[in-house]
């Protein structure tokens, strides 16, 4: 043990005498999917906004990890593991136990000329935490290629050659209890018990190849509930290969007897993997001549309003936009349109405004643009035509134009003639689907794939009938519905019993109507088979001024549990409930958005859900949520309460082509009956906010694209 401490101290002393910067070097990812050596952490941080997905395998252990660099110094990780466990202090082993964990690391300082970077971290922060560890670690660059790391760990990192806790006032560490309720914050463990030293080196040979060596302080003693791994030696060695930027492949020799493989794939939300601007260039601004600028009216016989409308409709169709209404006077043109192509409403506005300069008579100086969604106008943006002509192709044009436009509520301007083209009333699509639920209601991994048939019929611009039918090609043996407990009905834990007959099922069939009751107000009423488990009625009212960071909403639902065959019946469970929430939404700025929902959930429990999201200018969104209700930890079961991490990546971020679609996933604890909500489509705030001042301002740089 003295040799280990001496080696670590010598390494730290060596760090202090050399110039370098570990935080600027290539970030090495460990087998835990976090910045680190092989098993041990480092004080490195990836660039802010980096999202890393990692897969690692060794005999008896598989890990899948998502790590996000929330700020330049703070990172968070969510991990799924499949691990063999000792089920008794003998050699009996349970294979394939499913684990979930959550990590946090904060880098305390930037590396200096002589001072290493220090970081403090928690691995597997929730109980029971089979790999639960806390650590303080330092890393220092030596030259451009070598990084030396040393640290002290507790918990699983304090099992090999441990010594007395330097923070002795914190007391002993509680004994690991496999039966402890899963998912509660393990703060009673943090930095308690014996500690141990660890350290290592990483050397980057060139841009592609690197070497890693470490002394690991993790041990795996034979004990009930412990991972069935044997660490005969503390020394681990590995080689890393980066075939392309954003990809790290690793091969490691562990404990002197095991081989491990891992792959880590990263993207940065501040960058774009595909080239931007792959969409077709917009039409140029058609500048008026000096003589045309003096005109104060236009000849309706030469340019009839119907002709202007037809021309605008054709030009917008080229851009993937749909004309919904057009009013033209001698000096003003007011246009309403829907945008189904561009993620940024500002970019769509730029395209519409350019087209208007091509079509509108010269006397029209004022353009009023009104984007709409689901038949309701979202905002009204007034632009002077002369500003478009003056600023096109000038440096700083986007900022100058933004300072001159007026953004208001479209409802203040009253109705505008709307119509729906006959060919747009009915739409349908057929395609494959794949769902992977690592935390299904019974705690297992649920995989489903098949075909999905969707269709919609637009009755009026604000009223839509839509539905989805799916046919699974991976029928699975699912548990029958279980009886309700005395304290909480099975509002979600019976989800695995739904749609297991091998026949097509009705996922959803709804009639939805949207409205604008008054200025700053938006409404929704949805009736039918709302989701796979429930039908009924869902109503919503949202107050959201176009220029305000704050939004307030209320939702009230009456839900009836559907039959498990997912046909048209409601008789099997005889369960109905009135559920609803009041919600507050706030834009904190810099891409941060918060939402607080307070109310009654599907099981009749009362509580609240807090969500916070970080949305980048490229549309990448990473967020977390937590729900706590009056249901006790014991009644809820594994997970203790609902919590999770949500990741959404827009399609145009990957392809570079304009598209409003996105790829998303939720990494959560096991589905439980407490804190469960209806999965109703078309909730208001998401699409209303997109065209309001905050989001328009954030993406206004795309106006000229």
Which string of DSSP letters, residue by residue, matches 537-594? Answer: EEEEEEE--TT-SEEEEEEEEEEEEPPTT-SS--TTT--EEEEEEEEEEEEEETTEEE
pLDDT score at 275: 54
563-617: per-residue pLDDT in tens? 989 999 998 889 999 999 999 999 998 889 999 999 999 999 999 999 999 988 8
Task: Between 244 and 184, name the one with better pLDDT.
Answer: 244
For the whole model, what pTM was predicted?
0.84
- The sign of the torsion formed by the CA atoms of 288, 289, 294, 300 equals negative
Residues ≥6 apart with Cβ < 8 Å to 409: 379, 380, 519, 520, 545, 546
Q: How far apart are CA 330 and CA 312, in angstroms?
A: 17
End-to-end Cα separation, the chain, in angstroms? 63
Average pLDDT over residues 429-452: 71
CA atoms within 13 A on the CB side of 6: 3
Average pLDDT over residues 359-386: 96
Q: How far apart are CA 537 and CA 548, in angstroms?
A: 30
Length reported for the chain: 705
Q: Label residues 576-591 b or e (16+ Cβ within 10 Å = b).
A: ebebbbebebbbeeeb
Question: What percent of the chain shows pLDDT beyond 90?
Answer: 58
Quickly state the pLDDT bin for 232 (edges 50, 70, 90). confident
pLDDT score at 475: 60
Quickly state the pLDDT bin for 4 (edges 50, 70, 90). very low
Q: Phi and psi dihedrals of 127, rounded to 5?
A: -75, 155
50-97: per-residue pLDDT in tens? 999 999 999 989 999 999 999 999 999 988 888 888 877 666 787 778
Quickly state the pLDDT bin for 18 (edges 50, 70, 90). very low
Task: Between 670 and 535, name the one with better pLDDT.
Answer: 535
Which string of DSSP letters, residue by residue, matches 26-79? Answer: PPPB-TTSSBBSSSSB-S--PPTTEEEEEEEEETTEEEEEEEEE-SSSEEEEEE
Asked whether residue 3 carries a pLDDT value surpassing 50, the answer given is no
Structure tokens belonging to residue 390: 């003056």
Asked whether residue 448 carries a pLDDT value surpassing 80, the answer given is no
Average pLDDT over residues 238-250: 95
The residue ranges of DSSP E strands in 193-320, in sequence order, are 195-204, 209-215, 235-241, 247-254, 258-268
Asked whether residue 362 carries a pLDDT value surpassing 80, the answer given is yes
Average pLDDT over residues 494-515: 87
391-419: per-residue pLDDT in tens? 998 999 999 999 999 999 998 888 887 76
pLDDT score at 90: 65
Q: What is the mean pLDDT of the chain?
A: 86
Asked whether residue 480 carries a pLDDT value surpassing 60, the answer given is no
CA atoms within 13 A on the CB side of 303: 17
Q: Label residues 89-112 b or e (16+ Cβ within 10 Å = b).
A: eeeeeeeebebbbbbebbbeeebe
Domain ranges of the chain: 2-268, 290-420
Of residues 175, 105, 179, 119, the one with CA closest to residue 149? 119
Q: How far apart are CA 594 and CA 596, in angstroms?
A: 7
Average pLDDT over residues 535-554: 97
Long-range contacts of 230-238 (CB under 8 A, 24+ apart): 230/255, 230/257, 231/160, 231/255, 232/256, 232/257, 233/257, 234/160, 234/161, 236/37, 236/38, 236/39, 236/212, 237/38, 237/211, 237/212, 237/213, 238/37, 238/38, 238/211, 238/212, 238/213
Q: Are 651 and 663 in contact (CB under 8 A)?
A: yes
> Out of 13-27, 247-261, 368-382, 515-529, which region has the weakest mean confidence (pLDDT)?
13-27
Say how far residue 644 (Cα) sits from the centre of its chain: 10
Q: How far apart are CA 265 and CA 481, in angstroms?
A: 39
Task: Between 490 and 169, name the one with better pLDDT.
Answer: 490
Q: How many beta carbons lie within 10 A of that of residue 495, not counting itself?
A: 21
254-288: per-residue pLDDT in tens? 998 899 999 999 988 887 665 555 678 888 999 99
Q: Which fold has domain 290-420?
A: GMP Synthetase; Chain A, domain 3 (3.30.300)
DSSP-assigned beta bridge partners for residue 515:
523
Asked whether residue 648 carries a pLDDT value surpassing 60, the answer given is yes
Provide the 3-class DSSP secondary structure of residue 501.
coil
Q: Which CATH architecture has domain 2-268?
A: Beta Barrel (2.40)
Q: Which of 86-100, 122-136, 430-444 has the highest mean pLDDT?
A: 122-136
């Amino acid at each position: 043990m003295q040799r280990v401490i001496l080696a670590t101290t010598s390494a730290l002393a060596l760090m202090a005498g050399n110039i370098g910067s570990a935080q600027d070097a290539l970030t090495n990812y460990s087998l835990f999917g976090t910045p680190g050596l092989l098993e041990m952490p480092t004080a490195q941080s990836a660039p802010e906004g980096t999202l890393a997905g990692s897969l690692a395998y060794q005999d008896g252990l598989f890990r899948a990890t998502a790590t996000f660099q929330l700020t330049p110094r703070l990172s968070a990780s969510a991990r799924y593991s499949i691990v063999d466990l000792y089920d008794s202090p003998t050699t009996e082993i349970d294979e394939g136990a499913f684990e979930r964990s959550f990590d946090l690391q904060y880098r305390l300082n930037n590396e200096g000329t002589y001072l290493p970077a220090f970081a403090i971290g928690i691995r597997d922060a929730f109980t029971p935490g089979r790999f639960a560890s806390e650590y303080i670690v330092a890393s220092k660059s030596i030259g451009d290629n070598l990084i030396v790391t040393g640290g002290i760990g507790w918990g699983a990192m304090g099992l090999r050659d441990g010594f007395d806790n330097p923070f002795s006032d914190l007391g002993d560490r509680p004994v690991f209890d496999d039966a402890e309720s899963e998912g509660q914050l393990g703060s009673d463990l943090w930095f308690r018990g014996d500690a141990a030293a660890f350290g290592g080196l990483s050397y980057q040979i060139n841009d592609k190849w690197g070497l890693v060596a470490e002394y690991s302080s993790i041990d795996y003693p034979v004990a009930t509930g412990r991972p069935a791994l044997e660490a005969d030696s503390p020394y681990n060695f590995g080689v890393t290969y980066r075939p392309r930027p954003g990809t790290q492949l690793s091969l490691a020799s562990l404990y002197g007897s095991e081989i491990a493989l891992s792959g880590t794939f990263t993207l940065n939300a501040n960058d774009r993997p595909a080239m931007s601007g792959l969409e077709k260039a917009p039409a140029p601004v058609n500048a008026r001549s000096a003589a045309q600028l003096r005109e104060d009216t236009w000849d309706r016989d030469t340019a009839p309003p119907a002709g202007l409308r037809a021309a605008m409709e054709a030009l917008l169709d080229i851009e993937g936009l749909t004309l919904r209404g057009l009013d033209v006077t001698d000096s003003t043109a007011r246009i309403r349109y829907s945008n189904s192509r561009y993620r940024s409403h500002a970019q769509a506005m730029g395209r519409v405004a350019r087209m208007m300069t091509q079509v509108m008579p010269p006397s029209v100086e004022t353009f009023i643009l009104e984007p709409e969604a689901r038949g309701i106008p979202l905002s009204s943006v007034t632009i002077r035509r002369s500003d478009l002509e003056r600023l096109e192709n000038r440096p700083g044009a986007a900022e100058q134009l933004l300072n001159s436009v007026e953004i208001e509520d479209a409802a203040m301007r009253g109705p505008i003639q709307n119509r729906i083209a006959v060919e747009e009333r009915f739409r349908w699509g057929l395609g494959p689907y794949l769902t992977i639920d690592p935390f299904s209601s019974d705690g297992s991994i649920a995989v489903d794939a098949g075909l999905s048939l969707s269709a919609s019929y637009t009755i009026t611009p604000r009223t839509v009938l839509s539905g989805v039918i799916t046919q699974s090609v991976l029928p699975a043996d699912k548990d029958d519905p279980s009886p309700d407990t005395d304290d909480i009905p099975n509002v979600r834990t019976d989800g695995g019993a739904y749609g297991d007959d091998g026949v097509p099922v009705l996922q959803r069939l709804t009639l939805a109507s949207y409205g604008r009751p008054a200025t700053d107000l938006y409404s929704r009423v949805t009736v039918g088979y709302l989701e796979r488990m429930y039908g009924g009625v869902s109503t919503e009212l949202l107050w959201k001024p176009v220029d305000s960071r704050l939004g307030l909403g209320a939702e009230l639902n009456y839900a009836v549990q559907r039959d498990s065959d997912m046909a048209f019946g409601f008789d099997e469970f005889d369960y109905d409930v009135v559920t609803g929430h009041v919600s507050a939404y706030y834009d904190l700025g810099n891409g941060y958005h918060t939402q607080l929902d307070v109310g009654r959930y599907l099981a009749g429990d009362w509580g609240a859900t807090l969500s916070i999201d970080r949305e980048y200018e490229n549309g990448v969104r990473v967020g977390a949520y937590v729900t706590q209700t009056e249901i006790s930890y014991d009644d809820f079961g594994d997970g203790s309460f609902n919590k999770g991490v949500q990741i959404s990546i827009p399609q145009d971020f990957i392809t570079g082509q304009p598209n409003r679609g996105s790829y998303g996933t939720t990494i959560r604890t096991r589905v439980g009956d407490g804190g469960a909500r209806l999965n109703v489509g078309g909730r208001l705030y998401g699409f209303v906010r997109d065209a309001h001042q905050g989001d328009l301002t954030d993406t206004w740089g795309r106006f000229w694209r």
